[in-house]
Structure 1
Amino acid sequence: MAPCRPTVGHNWHMGSDIGANIRRLREEHEWSQARLAREVCRAAGLAGDPVGRQEVSRWENGKRTPWEWLPFIATALGVTVEVLRAHQERAEPPLPMLADFLPEDDPLSPLERCKGRRIGMGAVDDLQQRVHGLRLADDVLAGGDLIRPALRELRSAVRLYREGTHSSEVGRQLLRQIGELTQIAGWIASDAGQHKEAERIYRLGISAARQAEDHTLAGNIAGSLAYQFSNTGRESEGLRLAQAAFNDARAEAPPKARALYLDRVAWAHTKAGGAENGQQAMRALGEAGQALSEDSDGTESPTYLYWVDAGELRVMESRVYTELHRPLRAVPLLREVLSEYDATHTREMALYLSWLAIALVDANEPEEAATVAGRVLTLSADVASERTAERVRIVLGRLQEYAEVPEVAALLDEHEAA
């Protein structure tokens, strides 16, 4: 096999460029690293596994440059060697992906051959505290700020479960904490705009929660994935999954959890569109309120539901009214919610103000809508959230309908100049 060695004078970046290009093209094919390894061996006409997932990982991370394998990698990916060698400008290193450190088959299968350190409940408690700390950090920081530490925590937790030795009860509690971690890590990834990665994380969490026999947690994670589907153009999938999450978990779920499931069902119906879905959304909101009213101080709810309260249900109700173009109901409700909201939660404040701006446009109040939109732009300027970025685009798009109104024109001009 003739080696494809670089000639003298090649840019020193070439090795890392090749790794970045391999990774980018593999992800465009939606292949795992193990799948690419198999395709490279097939292209080279080799039996067995002379190239494996770990070797592909070394290529992509720049730890090893596959000079002699380049023609076969190019063939497997359907490109030329020149495409693999092309220089890529990169502002920062690529985000770590769950697939980089999880096996292709079952990411939660314990390594029976591995005699790792003995894991006790102390390790579970420590992980629980870190998960809750990450959840609290998400209240004030956006996905772009948190995705790297979130994925590092998830990687560490999965390794702890797989590589350590533990009793069945400790293993079940570890799986439960992995499930809770995937819920917040998936939310963070989704907020950072990494929707495919978020879906992989959520699916891992559903598996962990089901293995731990925690159906309430599995329903919560599935509902989070349904919410992402509903917001990213997969409305029918979102509706089916939201309903399935509610149906599977409601029998043993505490009132707060049922209220949250129903909240997501309401949103899924709203995003699915149509008069009948609108009616179903309002019915689900009513049932969510009823479920929450059954909650009392003596009712035990999981810690991760600390944020579910009457105020959050009003937020969803106001968003549903806005989406259904019912501004007379949406505007006063949003104003009430915003008057009570914690101003330190910048991302959420920007998001809720964006709904108010849209409702004001629907109410034919472009001047006030422009004022509210200005606050949205100011709050979201330094927030690393794809959710707020998307809402800004939607608000500005709706304001274009009133581009001749002086207040709106001034806001649009200022935004364009910025």
Structure 2
Amino acid sequence: MGSCIGANIRRERSRLGWSQERLGREVCRGAGVMGGPVGRQEVSRWEQGKRTPRQWLPFIAAALGVSMDVLMEPQKPDEPPLPTLADFLPDDDPLAPLSAREGRRIGMGQVGDLRERVHGLRLADDVLAGGDLIRPALRELRAAVRLYKEGAHSGEVGCALLRQIGELAQIAGWIASDAGQHADAERVYRLGISAATQAGDRTLAGNLAGSLAYQLSNTGEEVDGARLAQAALDGAGPDAPPKARALYLDRVAWAHTKAGEAQPAMRALGEAGEALAADGAGVESPAYLYWVDAGELRVMESRVYTELRRPLRAVPLLRDVLSRYDTTHTRELALYLSWLAVALADANEPEEAAATAERVITLSETVTSDRTAARVRVVRERLEGYRDVPEVRAVLDGAA
């Protein structure tokens, strides 16, 4: 019954064009408990069937303008329509009023300066973790939005500014997510989706939506993550640049993997490889996707195999990637080694898993990354089953 109710709530909410956050506010308003316990995450749990909104059902029905019977009726076999990127725009968008005030004149020179700072922040993220970068990243984003809203500029300059705000939101959201500030990251991503959409840049909007989908998939919202990853791919369209399409498909693969859907995940991985093979064949990929290459696709493939408990495929891929990886990228090195440690444990190689885990723990102590901290916990949990092995016990006791 809970899954039927959840599907019906999602259908009626989509019909109104409301976000999950908007529905939560309307339900609280109807119940007279403003600031109450119903937020976007609670609505997401209802829609996924993880929680049945028993006492809230009358207020949900009233907010949606339907009877309770409509929400409780058995789900029809037809699937609800796939979401579009418009479903994920923020409710209260700082960029929504597109009328810049009469302030100082902004030209392409200032846009170029912002572009250089955005690229510098992106390069810094290659070697520093989210905890070190979150303050400067959010400070740059606030300044960029203020420049757009308070400056006077032509339509061409305004569009270029919006693109840079979108690019900045993508890297700032990624940094916030790495710092464990997931709510802030989601708000930043949604603002970026809005900026990219208003600039008419579907490729950038897809990159932002895919980044948010990746966070959702990794933070217990696998169903929403899969839906948004697919929406990012569909929204960019079949003519998206090869590297962009490969990246979107990689995120679709990961979303299906986290949702326990092996076949769609493997199919998306294959399509990602095909998309990347077309790079350089006419359509130029955006400069901000400089890091998307065959090595990155192999990393994702190995992670998918590890998550699906197929270590015989995962271990060789990970060893190949790590043998050529830049050791100055400490966070990524720790993350990739964590997947290798888990795959080795699954392959019943506890001594090698312990040696790899020790490297993961040592590296993670030097970076302020929530991602690496979470992976250390996963590695330790997986090794607990081998505690009777002396090498494993030494690593676990040392980490404790």
Aligned-pair CA distance for 1:412: 1.1
**Aligned residues of 2:226 and 2:252 also touching (Cα < 8 A):** yes
3-state SS, counterpart of residue 107 of structure 1: coil
Matches within 5 A, 1:174-323: 174-273=161-260, 277-296=261-280, 299-323=283-307
Aligned-pair CA distance for 1:140: 0.1
Counterpart among 158, 163, 169 of residue 145 in structure 2: 158
Aligned-pair CA distance for 1:298: 5.3
Q: Which residue of 1 aligns with 2:383?
A: 399
**Aligned residues of 2:100 and 2:150 also touching (Cα < 8 A):** no
**Aligned residues of 1:110 and 1:163 also touching (Cα < 8 A):** no
- Please give the alpha-carbon distance, in whole angstroms, between the structure 1 residues aligned to 2:330 and 2:264: 31
Root-mean-square deviation (CA), in Å? 2.0
Are 1:336 and 2:320 matched, yes or no?
yes
**Aligned residues of 2:242 and 2:276 also touching (Cα < 8 A):** yes
**Aligned residues of 1:347 and 1:388 also touching (Cα < 8 A):** yes
**Aligned residues of 2:250 and 2:272 also touching (Cα < 8 A):** yes
Q: Which residue of 1 aligns with 2:13?
A: none
- Please give the alpha-carbon distance, in whole angstroms, between the structure 1 residues aligned to 2:118 and 2:325: 24
Question: Which string of whole-angstrom CA distances, capped at 9 and with x for unpartnered residues, describes residues 158-216 of structure 1?
Answer: 00000001000100000000000000000000000000000000000000000000000
Aligned-pair CA distance for 1:250: 2.5
**Aligned residues of 2:100 and 2:149 also touching (Cα < 8 A):** no
3-state SS, counterpart of residue 103 of structure 2: coil
- Please give the alpha-carbon distance, in whole angstroms, between the structure 2 residues aligned to 1:373 and 1:214: 42
Q: Which residue of 1 aligns with 2:329?
A: 345
Equivalent pairs counted in the alignment come to 317
Are 1:370 and 2:354 matched, yes or no?
yes
Read off the aligned partner of 1:313 and give its amino acid letter: L
Are 1:325 and 2:312 matched, yes or no?
no
Read off the aligned partner of 1:354 and give its amino acid letter: S
Are 1:134 and 2:121 matched, yes or no?
yes
Q: Which residue of 2 aligns with 1:409?
A: 393
**Aligned residues of 2:104 and 2:152 also touching (Cα < 8 A):** yes
Read off the aligned partner of 1:337 and give its amino acid letter: V
Aligned-pair CA distance for 1:111: 7.5
Read off the aligned partner of 2:294 and give its amino acid letter: A
Counterpart among 326, 338, 347 of residue 354 in structure 1: 338
Read off the aligned partner of 2:109 and give its amino acid letter: G
- Please give the alpha-carbon distance, in whole angstroms, between the structure 2 residues aligned to 1:106 and 1:313: 34
Aligned-pair CA distance for 1:123: 0.7
- Please give the alpha-carbon distance, in whole angstroms, between the structure 2 residues aligned to 1:278 and 1:300: 32
3-state SS, counterpart of residue 118 of structure 1: coil
Question: Which string of whole-angstrom CA distances, capped at 9 and with x for unpartnered residues, describes residues 12-33 of structure 1?
Answer: xxxxxxxxxxxxxxxxxx99xx
Aligned-pair CA distance for 1:251: 2.8
Aligned-pair CA distance for 1:300: 1.3
3-state SS, counterpart of residue 240 of structure 2: coil
**TM (normalized to structure 1)?**
0.73
**Aligned residues of 1:347 and 1:379 also touching (Cα < 8 A):** yes
Q: 1:404 to 1:157 in 2, by over 3 A?
A: same
Counterpart among 108, 130, 136 of residue 95 in structure 2: 108
- Please give the alpha-carbon distance, in whole angstroms, between the structure 2 residues aligned to 1:394 and 1:169: 48
**Aligned residues of 1:246 and 1:262 also touching (Cα < 8 A):** yes
Read off the aligned partner of 1:160 and give its amino acid letter: L
3-state SS, counterpart of residue 139 of structure 1: helix
- Please give the alpha-carbon distance, in whole angstroms, between the structure 1 residues aligned to 2:97 and 2:230: 32
Question: Which string of whole-angstrom CA distances, capped at 9 and with x for unpartnered residues, describes residues 29-69 of structure 1?
Answer: x99xxx9xxx99xxxxxxxxxxxxxxxxxxxxxxxxxxxxx
**Aligned residues of 1:109 and 1:162 also touching (Cα < 8 A):** no
Aligned-pair CA distance for 1:106: 3.2
- Please give the alpha-carbon distance, in whole angstroms, between the structure 1 residues aligned to 2:92 and 2:392: 54
Q: 1:160 to 1:400 in 2, by over 3 A?
A: same
- Please give the alpha-carbon distance, in whole angstroms, between the structure 2 residues aligned to 1:104 and 1:374: 45
The answer to which structure, 1 or 2, has the higher relative contact order (CA under 8 A, 6+ apart) is 2
Aligned-pair CA distance for 1:109: 4.0
Q: 1:271 to 1:162 in 2, by over 3 A?
A: same
- Please give the alpha-carbon distance, in whole angstroms, between the structure 2 residues aligned to 1:111 and 1:271: 38
Identity value in percent: 76
Read off the aligned partner of 2:202 and give its amino acid letter: H
Aligned-pair CA distance for 1:221: 0.3
- Please give the alpha-carbon distance, in whole angstroms, between the structure 2 residues aligned to 1:255 and 1:128: 22
Structure 1 outlier segments of 4+, above 2 Å: 103-106, 109-114
Question: Which string of whole-angstrom CA distances, capped at 9 and with x for unpartnered residues, describes residues 301-348 of structure 1?
Answer: 111100000000000000000000000000000000000110000000
- Please give the alpha-carbon distance, in whole angstroms, between the structure 1 residues aligned to 2:157 and 2:396: 56
Question: Which string of whole-angstrom CA distances, capped at 9 and with x for unpartnered residues, describes residues 60-94 of structure 1?
Answer: xxxxxxxxxxxxxxxxxxxxxxxxxxxxxxxxxxx
**Aligned residues of 1:111 and 1:163 also touching (Cα < 8 A):** no
Radius of gyration: which is bigger? 1
